[in-house]
Structure 1
Amino acid sequence: MAVPATPWKIPPLIKAYEALGAIGDGRVRIEDERRATVTSSDGSKTYEVETSADGREIASNDNASYWQGYVGYPAIAVLIARGFYRPPANVTDALAGVAWKELNRKYKNDWTRTIADVEKALEQGGHDPDAVRSEAEAVLSFLRALRPVRGKRTRPAAERPAIKIR
């Protein structure tokens, strides 16, 4: 008898924002029909994501997926890049260039404050923060409907060592 697959927890809303931003930045690279990589917003890490053909089975080596047990933003971004969910371009474009790691550090991973900062910047940039929030919430609804399960568990990606310039 097969062991039932472990379902992923649904992530906090910020992870949908981060995934949409990764799409806007073009940080997702599809390697083949199963494998993809996602570069972090500051370029210090590259995450490896594997998905099944239907997108339900997901393996990702980002910290949130490994330690918190929810679908991390790299996996969400890969599902979007593979066409399982299609956000409007104006939303992904609006979230391009956000320094997520820097903001999350600034606010000590208080994601409500990070989102508030991003929404303020969106408004100042002429974008509709309510439309972006609505799309991020729709991404989480998509994940609830997908009911993704865990693929193989892989250790988190390490930061690339700093390059010393002489």
Structure 2
Amino acid sequence: MPTLRLPPRIKVLEALGAIADGRVECVNDKCVFARVASSEGDRVYRVYVDVEKGVAYSDDNGTRLRGYVGYPLIAVLMLQGVLPFDERLSEALKGVPWRRLNEKYKRYAIVEDVVKRIASERGVKPEEIERFLHRVMEKLRSLRLKRLESPPLDAWSG
């Protein structure tokens, strides 16, 4: 099993936005299985992550096609308490049109600057975001999750 790579930093912010938007639905009590809706609501990603076993599955493009920890996985890891979570920062990212920004600017660094501006207008300083990103990326680096090709079972139907 390949180890998932670190994501682009913007994916951490996108995960915070997904949580604030109420787009993450835990399917079981420990949130090992979850559904995460895309920012436009036209797709729903299936997520399975078991940190004790060191394995993860998500059918989002970042995880499945590019081999990094995608934002649906990051959001679930935050809800599980594995990754840091900041409610104030999350709320500042509520309603951000992620797909539209990614398609418009085509570069994550530019989108990150735009998102930082939005958060700043909502009372969160860029340096707070930087500190938070650093903490999450360090924790993700230490997890070294292995990517499952398929989920262990179809628990999302329940």
**Match for residue 26 of structure 1?**
22
- 1:129 is the counterpart of 2:126: yes
Question: Which structure 1 residue ranges, 5 or more long, are not aligned?
Answer: 155-166
Q: Kindly provide the CA deviation profile for residues 123-161 of structure 1, in whole angstroms up to 9, marking residues without a partner as x.
A: 22222122123212221111101111112347xxxxxxx
**Match for residue 17 of structure 1?**
13
Q: Identity across aligned pairs (percent)?
A: 36
Runs of 4+ in 1 over 4 A off after TM superposition: none
- In structure 2, what residue type is equivalent to 1:140? M
**Match for residue 154 of structure 2?**
none
Compute the TM-score of the two structures, normalised by the length of structure 2.
0.87
Counterpart CA distance in 1 for 2:101 and 2:21 is 16
Aligned partner (choices 3, 10, 22) of residue 7 of structure 1: 3
Counterpart CA distance in 2 for 1:85 and 1:66 is 21
Number of positions where the alignment pairs a residue of Structure 1 with one of Structure 2: 149
Output the aligned Cα RMSD: 1.6
- In structure 2, what residue type is equivalent to 1:71? V
Counterpart CA distance in 1 for 2:79 and 2:53 is 11
**Match for residue 75 of structure 2?**
77
**Match for residue 162 of structure 1?**
none
Shift of 1:53: 5.4
- 1:54 is the counterpart of 2:36: no
- In structure 1, what residue type is equivalent to 2:76? V
Compute the TM-score of the two structures, normalised by the length of structure 1.
0.83
